[in-house]
Amino acid sequence: MTTFSFSRGAAALALILVTALAGCGDAQKGQQAAAPPAPQVTVAKPEQKLVTDHDEYVGRFIALDFVEIRARVSGYLEKIHFQDGQIVKEGDPLFTIDPRPFQATLEQAKSALEQAKANLAYAESDLKRGESLRTGTTITQQALDQRLQASRVASAGVASQEAAVQQAELDLSFTELKAPISGRIGDRRVSVGNLVSGGSSGSSTLLATIASIDPIRFEFTMDEASYLRYLRMAGASASSAADRGMTLPVRLKLIDEKDYTHEGRIDFVDNAIDRSSGTIRGRALFTNSDSRLTPGMFGRIQIATSTPTAALLVPDAAIATEQVRKFVYVVNAENVATPKYVTPGQLIGNLRVVEGLDPGDQVIVNGLMRVRPGLKVAPQEAAPTTGSTPSTSSIRTN
């Protein structure tokens, strides 16, 4: 009886174990059946573009012409003919100084001139009478010489009074101050009714300033090595020109701009290298028809240093790092992601110049975090972007 019970218990235990093992096998098959699908990634071929090496420098805008409007004569300021900060043209009236004292001085000078002319006419007629009397020895030589001297003094008096009239007319014209150049005028420094001091020295009253706006200059400094490189590119035949033959295309961007959209040219290079910094001053000229570029504003300039060459570019976000090496994931014909090591160049917008890729490589540009080497992926072609055709760009070297 005991033996039979033990056999039944052993059989039951064996049945439980077989059932459990069968359940484990089914669970493993379920896990294998629920394996995750291949991750979806976006792929694109490298873009082919023409790129140009260039140097970059930070500088500041300066006005082509900058003029201080100062009083040439003293007097009370009578009128102001402009609004602060407006654009003025050459010859536009700016200030009026009370002209009445200068008008009176001019009338006095004209009267004195007429008196001097009358004296000259009398002296000349007296001299002629003396010369006619000389033939009959009626007049002495001394008297004739006196009449000749009087004529010459009267002639000198006329010349002196003519100069006085010219000076009075000039002073009267100085009461009307006009714009010597076209540009943007600053704010008025003196209000109407104030007494201004004139003269040709720096003590004369400053009334306003005018800065030309179109074109405008951009001033920067380049290091000695770059300066020598530019000279060798230009050739010795152009070293006597004001720009040292640096007829290289230049582009500029402002501090709030991403792209170099302003195009200009170098028009001047200084005649000496600064001893303290080892740099030399250069200057570029830009058009400024919209008056956006303002003297004193900072900017960044690009100077092309080579001819355009073909290069391959990929999105900067597609480049991964492995210690000190850079690589991108390339999808092969079996849709397997394989790392390919590259040498990155400079950044152009959101694209990076790279070496080590082939034009036909399918580079993963999106979904990089879901990829590991040797993993099979589900690639999707990236949508075509504007500007994918070859074009001219620039890369930075400084």
Q: Mean pLDDT check: name the lowest of 117-131, 151-165, 249-263, 309-323.
A: 117-131
Read off the pLDDT of residues 78-110 as tens digits, 9 standing for 90 and up: 999 999 999 999 999 999 999 999 999 999 999
From 3.40.50.1370, 2.30.30.90, 3.30.70.1520, 2.40.420.20, which CATH number describes the 40-51+308-396 domain? 2.40.420.20
Read off the pLDDT of residues 268-293 as tens digits, 9 standing for 90 and up: 888 889 989 899 999 999 999 888 89
Read off the pLDDT of residues 344-368 as tens digits, 9 standing for 90 and up: 887 777 888 888 898 888 898 888 8
| Per-domain residue ranges of the chain | 40-51+308-396, 55-64+215-304, 67-98+175-211, 100-173
pTM above 0.85, yes or no: no
Amino acid in the structure at residue 67: V
pLDDT of 93: 94
pLDDT of 38: 84
CATH 3.30.200.20 fits domain 55-64+215-304: no
b/e 118-138 (16+ beta carbons within 10 angstroms → b): ebbeebeebbeebeeeeeeee
Identify the CATH number of the domain defined by range 67-98+175-211. Answer: 2.40.50.100
Average pLDDT over residues 153-174: 89
Residues near 11 by beta carbon (within 8 Å), at least 6 away in sequence? none
Q: Distance (Å, rounded) from C-alpha 44 to C-alpha 59? A: 38
Average pLDDT over residues 316-338: 89
Residues near 268 by beta carbon (within 8 Å), at least 6 away in sequence? 242, 243, 282, 283
**H or E element in which residue 188 lies:** none
Which CATH fold would you assign to the domain 100-173? Helix Hairpins (1.10.287)
Average pLDDT over residues 291-302: 91
